[in-house]
Structure formats: C-alpha cells, structure tokens
C-alpha cells in the first residue's frame, strides 16, 4: 500500500518508500540521522508503525522525547505532513496545548479528529472540535462521537447538537441546504439553491422534499459566473407559469415516453425519480437548471414541452457538440430549439448537426433551405427520396442535385 510522502528529501523518500537499508532506518528511528526536524518527524511517525519491533520501539521513544515547544511550532504549520498531525492527534497523554494546535490545524485528517473525539476525557478540547462546523459537516460521525462522549461539556454538547439539527435533521430549509453544499465545496449547487424558488415550496405537498433538493443539487455543475441569461427577454419570461400537479405528471410521462422511443431502452426507476424530481420544480428553476445542470439534467430538460426550458439547455456552456448532434435529430423538441441550433455559428461548422437538422421534419423550412446548400451531394440525393421531410425540402434538394450534376443526378 502506498504511503503519502510530503517531504522532498531523498532520505525521507527512501525510508518511507522502502528502499533504505535497515541500518539507516534504525538510525533514523533513534533520531541519529542529520535531518531537519520536520523531515525527521515524518520519518519517525512512519517508523513508529514498523513491523520491526526494534525500529518501532526506538521511533516511538524518539517521538516521546521531542521538545514540546519546538513541536508545537511545527504542528502549527500549514505545510506539515498530515500523517504527523494524525499521529499527535490520536496519541494519548500529551499536553493540552499540543492537542489544541493539532485540532486547530485544517490539515489534520478528519478520521484522526474522530478518533480523538471518541477517546478524549478533556471536555474543553471537545468544545474546540465542536467549534469547527465545517469539519463536523464534512464528517458527521464526529458529531455523534462528541454527543456520545461522557466527558463532553454543556457547550460542546450544545454546539454539536445545533450543527446536527441545522444541517442533518429535517427542519433545515433551503439556506441550510445551501450552507451544507458550500461546506462540501459544491458552490455552484449552493448558488442555485440560494437563488431558486425552493424556499417557498420546500416540503410542501406535490413539491420537493429536503431530500429531493439535495439529490437535485447533485446535477448542478456550472457556477453563475459561467452562464449568460441575456437571451431571456421579457417575451420569454412571460411564458413562465405555474403548472398543476396533473400537468407536471403529464410532462413526466411525456419525457419518459420520449426517452424510451429515442433511446429504445427501458427507463430505470432511478431515472424516473430524477425526472419526477426535476418536474416538481417551478418553470423558472427548470430554466436555471437547464443552463447550470449536468448532462443528465440537459438530457431530461431538452424534452420539456415549454420552449423556454428547452432553449435554455442550448445556452448551457457545458453542452457538447455530440449532445447537439442528438438534439438536432429529435422530433420531439420545440421548433425554436432547432432554429436556435441552426443559427449558431459554432454548431454550423459541425456537418452532422447540419445534416440532422436538414433531415428533421420539425426544423423550420427557412433554416433547412439555408443548410441544404452546404450538404454533400449524396446527402442531398438521400433527401430527395426521404418521405419524412417536407415536399419543399425534397424539391429544393432536387434542384441542388441537378445544379451540381448538370441534370444527371
């Protein structure tokens, strides 16, 4: 099993990497190698767990004899190896000041703090652990360790209980969900939750539950700074309206049916749940999700019968040309979406997109006519025979074929 090595010192790398001879390891365990103290500590912590009992015994003895003042100065550093911090966090019998330093260091591993919270008999230090709300949110088991430790103080109990109630119990609202997401580093999802209509409907019948909102947030991958909603004119915004539960159910069934038809496969229960969850959102939030969501969210919302929602998918900065190739061939998307693709300069350079638009009977005729002149002869000849496209498209294709072949096409 590989071991993380923080030091760039070749001696440290050799010892921890297992290439150093046994005498060198024993000398290091006894503190006899001329290494900087921070490098020596990293080596000693590693050797303290050696399967060689002589090396492990000497390494632990050398660690016990470290100067506390110098050790504290090192443990305060943001650059010190996490393995060193973990070692002193779980080691029993040290000074309270030393524990304060390692518990305050953000690089101290959460699992070491969890072990400390289970074993310590110092209630004041448990208060210090409970103060680090971000760590508690990241590793909720620490909360339970504090609350089950009989030596916890009233303050430690209060802080741990408040964090548990605020972030992990059902009474939390949209802002609490956003706080939790931000603590997990999911800033784009937090932004979405904060600016959404969820707060007005959370846990109402026929709307999203708190669990739904958290699952929904997993689809958000794009921060506000990357999206451009300038295309949303008043004309579009006026099309936002509140749907009834029956209307939402009908849209869910439509989308499921479209996916089954287009992908020729059964829709999994998990996917049906995701579709239902998304359709419980207001139309305004679905537009935001279409612009900020991941591939799965885009794949669902491109089939939304509301043209504003579907068009928002094309405005998503992470949409790929492969996705647009597929969308250009869909016969269930609004005409406005196909028109939007047709006039997009980037997509116009993709031949497959243009070909799919030309073959799609839902593409507005004006856009198809401008596309036909860019198609290859064999594709124009195929359109002449294609009974799924309009008569106007077939006739224009025939004219272009004759023009290119001198009437022999």
> What integer pLDDT is reported at residue 1 of this predicted model?
45
Q: What is the pLDDT confidence band of residue 155, given thresholds at 50, 70 and 90?
A: very high
| pLDDT grade for 170, boundaries at 50, 70 and 90 | very low
Q: What are the phi and psi torsion angles at 29 (to 5°)? A: -65, -30
Q: At 227, which helix (H) or strand (E)? A: none
Which whole number is the average pLDDT over 216-242? Answer: 82
Q: 293 has which bridge partners?
A: 220
**Is 90 exceeded by the pLDDT of residue 207?**
no
Q: What would the two tokens of residue 378 be?
A: 């064999």
- How far are the Cα atoms of 56, 68, 71, 87 from residue 61, in angstroms, in the given order? 9, 14, 15, 14
Confidence of residue 235 (pLDDT cuts 50, 70, 90): low
**237 exposed, middle or buried (CB, 10 Å; 0-12, 13-18, 19+)?**
exposed
Range with top average pLDDT, 208-217, 257-266, 275-284: 275-284
What is residue 375's three-state secondary structure? coil
Q: At what angle do helices 307-314 and 283-292 cross, to 10 degrees?
A: 20
| Angstrom distance (rounded) from CA 367 to CA 31 | 78
- Give the three-class secondary structure for 32: coil
Residue 313 and residue 301 in contact, taking contact as beta carbons nearer than 8 Å = yes
Choose between 403 and 206: higher pLDDT. 403
What confidence score (pLDDT) does residue 203 get? Answer: 63
pLDDT tens string 321-376 = 999 999 999 998 999 999 999 999 999 999 999 999 999 999 999 999 999 999 99
**Three-state SS letters, 81-111:** CHHHHHHHHHCCCCCHHHHHHHHHCCCCCHH
Burial of 77 (0-12, 13-18, 19+ CB in 10 A): middle
Cα 314 to Cα 117: distance, rounded to the nearest angstrom:
50
Of 397, 349, 406, 348, the closest CA to residue 376 belongs to 397
Question: So what's the pLDDT on residue 120?
Answer: 97
DSSP reduced 3-state for 126 = helix
Pick 5 or 200 by higher pLDDT. 5
- How far apart, in Å, do the first and last CA atoms of the chain sit? 68
- pLDDT at position 171 is 44
> Could you give the CA distance from residue 99 to residue 97 in angstroms, rounded to a whole number?
5
Confidence of residue 304 (pLDDT cuts 50, 70, 90): very high
> Average pLDDT over the chain, rounded to whole?
90
User: What pLDDT, on a 0 to 100 scale, did the predictor assign at position 270?
Assistant: 86
pLDDT class of 263 with cuts at 50, 70, 90: confident
Q: Please give the pLDDT value at position 204.
A: 67
In sign, the C-alpha dihedral spanning 228, 233, 234, 237 is negative
Q: Tell me which of 76-90, 143-157, 205-219, 384-398 is least confident.
A: 205-219
H-helix or E-strand spanning residue 52: none
Encoding tokens for residue 287?
């537009």
- Label residue 408 by pLDDT band (50, 70, 90): low
The pLDDT value recorded for residue 243 is 82
Which pLDDT tens digit goes with each residue over 67-97? 999 999 999 998 899 999 999 999 999 999 9
**What are 344's two structure tokens?**
């997009």
The 8 Å CB, 24+ separation contacts for 283-287 are 283/239, 283/240, 283/241, 283/242, 283/243, 283/308, 283/309, 284/197, 284/240, 285/196, 285/197, 285/198, 286/312, 287/232, 287/240, 287/312
Please list, residue by residue across 115-136, b when 16 or more beta carbons sit within 10 angstroms of its beta carbon and e when fewer do: bbbeebebbebbbbbbbbbebb
Contact 315, 287 (CB under 8 A): no
pLDDT of 172 reads: 56
Residue 389, pLDDT above cutoff 50: yes
pLDDT at 209: 77
* CB-CB contact of 209 with 199 (8 Å): no
pLDDT of residue 30: 96
């Amino acid at each position: 099993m590989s071991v993380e090595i923080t030091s760039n010192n070749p001696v440290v790398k050799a010892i921890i990497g297992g290439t150093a001879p046994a005498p060198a390891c024993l000398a290091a365990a006894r503190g006899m190698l001329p290494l900087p103290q921070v490098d020596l500590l990293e080596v000693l912590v590693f050797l303290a767990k050696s399967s060689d009992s002589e090396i492990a015994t000497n390494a632990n003895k050398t660690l016990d004899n470290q100067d506390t003042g110098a050790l504290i100065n090192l443990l305060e550093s943001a650059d010190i190896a996490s393995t060193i911090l973990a070692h002193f966090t779980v080691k029993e019998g040290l000074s309270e000041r030393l524990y304060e330093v390692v518990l305050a260091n953000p690089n101290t591993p959460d699992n070491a703090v969890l072990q400390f919270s289970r074993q310590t008999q110092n209630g004041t230090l448990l208060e210090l652990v409970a103060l680090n709300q971000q760590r508690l949110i990241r590793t909720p088991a620490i909360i339970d360790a504090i609350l089950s430790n009989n030596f916890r103080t009233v303050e430690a109990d209060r802080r741990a209980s408040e964090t548990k109630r605020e972030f992990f119990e059902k009474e939390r609202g949209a802002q609490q969900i956003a706080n939790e997401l931000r603590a997990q580093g999911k800033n784009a999802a937090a932004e979405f939750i904060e600016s959404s209509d969820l707060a007005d409907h959370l846990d109402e019948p026929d709307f999203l539950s708190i669990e739904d909102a958290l699952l929904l947030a997993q689809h958000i991958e794009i921060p506000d700074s990357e999206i451009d909603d300038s295309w949303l004119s008043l004309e579009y915004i006026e099309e936002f309206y509140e749907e009834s539960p029956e209307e939402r159910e009908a849209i869910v069934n439509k989308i499921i049916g479209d996916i089954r038809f287009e992908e020729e496969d059964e829709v999994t229960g998990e996917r049906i749940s995701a579709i239902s969850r998304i359709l419980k959102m207001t139309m305004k939030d679905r537009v935001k999700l279409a612009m900020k969501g991941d591939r799965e969210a885009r794949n669902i919302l491109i089939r939304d019968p509301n043209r504003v929602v579907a068009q928002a998918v094309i405005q998503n900065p992470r949409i790929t040309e492969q996705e647009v190739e597929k969308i250009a061939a869909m016969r269930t998307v609004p005409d406005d979406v196909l028109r939007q693709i047709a006039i997009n300069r980037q997509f116009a350079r993709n031949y497959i997109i243009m070909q799919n638009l030309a073959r799609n009977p839902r593409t507005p005729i004006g856009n198809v006519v401008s596309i036909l002149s860019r198609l290859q002869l064999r594709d124009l000849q195929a359109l002449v025979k294609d009974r799924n496209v309009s008569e106007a498209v077939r006739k224009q294709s025939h004219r272009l074929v004759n023009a290119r072949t001198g009437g022999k096409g």
